[in-house]
C-alpha cells in the first residue's frame, strides 16, 4: 500500500453516499468494486456516477475524455465475494447496527488478512462493529459527507482496538482521494459532526412543532441571520430524513439523554416515506427535473 499504483478498494452499498464514494475513488485512479444486493440500486448508482463524472469534467476537474476512463475502473456487482482482492472495503449500507455487523462478519471471512474494514457510519460505535470481526485492529471509520466527491473533509473515528497503523492507512487512503482526513480519537455516539448537526435538526423540528415559526422562516434565519450555508430543514432533506432519524435514535439510545429523543414530526415524515430530496419530498417538495 506504499506508493505504486492506486490500491483497489471495495464499496459496499451504493446508495447516495456509496455511489459518491465510488465516483470519488474511481476519479482519483482507484480500481473499485462497487457491490450492492439490489440490481436497481446498482443501476441508479451507475447513472449517478456517470452524471457526476460529466459534471466534474464540465467544471474542468479533468479532461472530458477521461470521464470514460474513470468510469471503466468500476466493477459493478451483486456478489460480495468479488471484494476478495481489494485492499480496503468502505461499507456504506443502512445506518443500523445489526445489518452492518452482519456484513462486517461476512467481509471478514472474504478479505485478505491485511485488508482494512472501513465504515461510512455517521454515528455507530466502531468498537461495536469491529466486534463482529476477527480483525478489530483493522476496523476504522471513514465518515464522508454529502456529496462525497465535493465535501473536503472526512471524519476518521477510531474504535477502542483500532491500531495506529490502521488509522494511518485510512488517512493515506482518504488523502489519495484528494480529501482531508480528520481523526476522532474517542469512539462516542455521533462522533463530532453529528453531535453538532443533529441538535440543530432537533431544535428546528421542536420549534416547528410548537408553532414558533414556519420551516421557511427558521431556515431563512439560520442562513441569513446566523450565516450557515443551509437551513436545518433543508439539511435534513439533503442528508435524508431516514438517516437523520437513525442517527438521532442511535445517539439517544446510547447516551440515554432525553434531549436526543427523535422529534415526532421526523418520525412521521419517515413513516410517510417522505425522506427528503431522494424521494422527492421531505420537509419540502422536490419536483422532478425535466430534461
Question: Does the pTM of the predicted model rise above 0.85?
Answer: yes
Among 146, 163, 164, residue whose Cα is nearest residue 155: 146
Model pLDDT, residue 62: 85
Task: Name the burial class of residue 153, with classes exposed (0-12), middle (13-18) and buried (19+) by CB atoms within 10 angstroms of its CB.
Answer: middle
Would you put residue 26 in left (φ > 0), alpha (ψ -120 to 50) or beta?
A: alpha
Which residues participate in catalysis according to the annotation? Answer: 122, 143, 155, 194
Distance CA 102, CA 81 (A): 15
Predicted local distance difference test score (pLDDT) of residue 59 = 87
Distance CA(210)–CA(189), nearest Å, equals: 28
Cell of 228: 450557515
Which triple of cell numbers denotes residue 174?
A: 482518504
CB neighbour class for 126 (10 Å; exposed up to 12, middle 13-18, buried from 19): buried
Q: So what's the pLDDT on residue 3?
A: 52
Which domains are present in the chain? 9-184 (3.40.50.720), 193-279 (1.10.1040.10)
Give the pLDDT of the chain (291 residues) as one tens digit per residue: 445 689 999 999 999 899 999 999 999 999 999 999 999 999 999 999 999 999 988 888 888 889 999 999 999 999 999 999 999 999 999 999 999 999 999 999 999 999 999 999 999 999 999 999 999 999 999 999 988 999 999 999 999 999 999 999 999 999 999 999 999 999 999 999 999 999 999 999 999 999 999 999 999 999 999 999 999 999 999 999 999 999 999 999 999 999 999 999 999 999 999 999 999 999 999 987 544
180 strand-pairing partners? 153
Predicted pLDDT at 218: 98
Question: What integer pLDDT is reported at residue 5 of this predicted model?
Answer: 81
Strand order in the sheet with 88-91: 74-77, 32-35, 9-12, 88-91, 116-119, 139-141
Q: Helix, strand or coil for residue 190?
A: coil
Amino acid at each position: 500500500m506504499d506508493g505504486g499504483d492506486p490500491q483497489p478498494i471495495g464499496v459496499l452499498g451504493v446508495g447516495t453516499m456509496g455511489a459518491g464514494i465510488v465516483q470519488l475513488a474511481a476519479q482519483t485512479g482507484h480500481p473499485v468494486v462497487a457491490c450492492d444486493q439490489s440490481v436497481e440500486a446498482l443501476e441508479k448508482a451507475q447513472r449517478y456516477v456517470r452524471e457526476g463524472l460529466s459534471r466534474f469534467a464540465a467544471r474542468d476537474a479533468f479532461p472530458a475524455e477521461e470521464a470514460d476512463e474513470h468510469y471503466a475502473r468500476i466493477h459493478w456487482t451483486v456478489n460480495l465475494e468479488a471484494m476478495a482482492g481489494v485492499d480496503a472495503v468502505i461499507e456504506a449500507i443502512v445506518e443500523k447496527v445489526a445489518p452492518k455487523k452482519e456484513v462486517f462478519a461476512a467481509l471478514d471471512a472474504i478479505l485478505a488478512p491485511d485488508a482494512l474494514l472501513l465504515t461510512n457510519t455517521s454515528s455507530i460505535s466502531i468498537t461495536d462493529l469491529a466486534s463482529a470481526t476477527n480483525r478489530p485492529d483493522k476496523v476504522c471509520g471513514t465518515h464522508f459527507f454529502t456529496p462525497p466527491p465535493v465535501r473536503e473533509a472526512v471524519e476518521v473515528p477510531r474504535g477502542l482496538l483500532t491500531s495506529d497503523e490502521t488509522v494511518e492507512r485510512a488517512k493515506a487512503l482518504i488523502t489519495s482521494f484528494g480529501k482531508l482526513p480528520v481523526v476522532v480519537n474517542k469512539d462516542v455516539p455521533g462522533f463530532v459532526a453529528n453531535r453538532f448537526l443533529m441538535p440543530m435538526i432537533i431544535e428546528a423540528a421542536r420549534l416547528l412543532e410548537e408553532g414558533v415559526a414556519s420551516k421557511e422562516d427558521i431556515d431563512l434565519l439560520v442562513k441569513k441571520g446566523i450565516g450557515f450555508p443551509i437551513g436545518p430543514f433543508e439539511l435534513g432533506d439533503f442528508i435524508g430524513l431516514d438517516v437523520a432519524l437513525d442517527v438521532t435514535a442511535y445517539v439517544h439510545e446510547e447516551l440515554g439523554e432525553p434531549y436526543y429523543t427523535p422529534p415526532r414530526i421526523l418520525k412521521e415524515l419517515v413513516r410517510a416515506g417522505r425522506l427528503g430530496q431522494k424521494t422527492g419530498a421531505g420537509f419540502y417538495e422536490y419536483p422532478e427535473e425535466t430534461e
